[in-house]
C-alpha cells in the first residue's frame, strides 16, 4: 500500500517539477507546518469539542485533508531518506515494547524513564 501511494505522490510531484524544492530539510519543515495546521483544528477547543471534529462534515473534511498532507510529506521524507516506513514502524514498536513493558506501563502515561 505505502509503496504504491508513494509512487503516485512522486508522479504528482514530478509532473509539476517540484522535486527541485524537495530537499530533506524543506520536506521536514513542510511536514511540521502541516502538522501545525492539524493542531490548529484543535485550537481553543476542549477535549469534547476536539473529539467531535469527525462528526461534522466540514470539520471531518478539514481533519482528513490535514492528515493527508502530513502523510504525504512523511512519505516524501521517507522516500528521500531511503526509509521503509513499514519496517521502521515495526522496529519502533519493538523498541517501545522494551521501553514500556505491559506490567509497569499498563494504564500509565508516564515516560519510560519514569517507570523503570
Place of cell 523498541: 95
Place of cell 514530478: 14
Q: What is the CATH number of the domain that holds 64?
A: 1.10.287.1080
- The yes-or-no verdict on residue 116 having pLDDT over 70 is no
- Domain that residue 47 falls in: 2-83
Q: Which three cell numbers stand for residue 110?
A: 508516564
Residue 109 belongs to some domain of the structure: no
Tens-digit pLDDT profile for residues 70-107: 999 999 999 999 999 999 999 999 999 999 999 989 99
* Count: domains in the chain: 1
Cα–Cα distance, 28 to 61 (Å, whole number): 24
- What pLDDT does residue 108 have? 87
Name the DSSP class of 56. S
Cα–Cα distance, 104 to 114 (Å, whole number): 10
* Residues 70 and 34: beta-carbon distance below 8 Å: yes
Residue 6 belongs to some domain of the structure: yes
Handedness of CA 16, 22, 27, 33 (dihedral sign): negative
pTM assigned to the model:
0.91
Residue 99 belongs to some domain of the structure: no
Amino acid at each position: 500500500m505505502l509503496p504504491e501511494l508513494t509512487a503516485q505522490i512522486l508522479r504528482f510531484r514530478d509532473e509539476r517539477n517540484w522535486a527541485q524544492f524537495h530537499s530533506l530539510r524543506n520536506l521536514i519543515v513542510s511536514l511540521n507546518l502541516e502538522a501545525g495546521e492539524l493542531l490548529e483544528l484543535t485550537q481553543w477547543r476542549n477535549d469534547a469539542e476536539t473529539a467531535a471534529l469527525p462528526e461534522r462534515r466540514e470539520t471531518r473534511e478539514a481533519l482528513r485533508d490535514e492528515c493527508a498532507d502530513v502523510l504525504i510529506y512523511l512519505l516524501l521524507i521517507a522516500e528521500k531518506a531511503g526509509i521503509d516506513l513499514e519496517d521502521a514502524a515495526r522496529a519502533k514498536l519493538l523498541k517501545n515494547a522494551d521501553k514500556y513493558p505491559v506490567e509497569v506501563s499498563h494504564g500509565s502515561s508516564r515516560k519510560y524513564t519514569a517507570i523503570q
